[in-house]
Amino acid sequence: MVGDGTVAGASVGVSLWAVEGEAVRLVYNPWEGGSNSSEALNYGQVVLSPTQAWFVAHDGVHGHEWHRWSHGELSDDWIVIHR
C-alpha cells in the first residue's frame, strides 16, 4: 500500500508500506528524511501486476518520476529497480 505515515514518531511522508496481518511496516520511502513528502499518488494511482508495483513519486532530487518495485523470488523483500 502507498500512504502517509510515521516511524518512531517521525513523519516519513507518503511511502510504500507492507501489510502483514495486523502489522504495517515501511518498505520504501522515495524521499528520506523528516517531514519530506514524496507526493506519491498526486500524479496517478498505483499500478499493480502479480509481481510488480509502479507509482510516480518525488525523490527530492530528480523530481516526479516512475518508481518500479518487483517482489524478489528468493526472499519476501521488495526491491526498487532504477533505470
Give me the mean pLDDT over the 1-21 stretch: 82
For the chain, the domains span 2-80
Q: Is the pTM of this model over 0.85?
A: no
Q: Which residue has the cell 526498487?
A: 80
Comparing 11-15, 54-58, 61-65, the range with the smallest average pLDDT is 11-15
User: Between 70 and 25, whose confidence is greater?
Assistant: 25
Task: Write out the DSSP string of the chain.
Answer: -EEEEEETTEEEEEEEEEEETTEEEEEE-SS-STT----TTSSS--EE-SSEEEEEEE-SSS-EEEEEEEE-SSSS-EEE---
pLDDT at 74: 46
pLDDT of 69: 76
Q: pLDDT of 12-45, one tens digit each?
A: 888 888 888 888 888 888 888 766 778 877 888 8
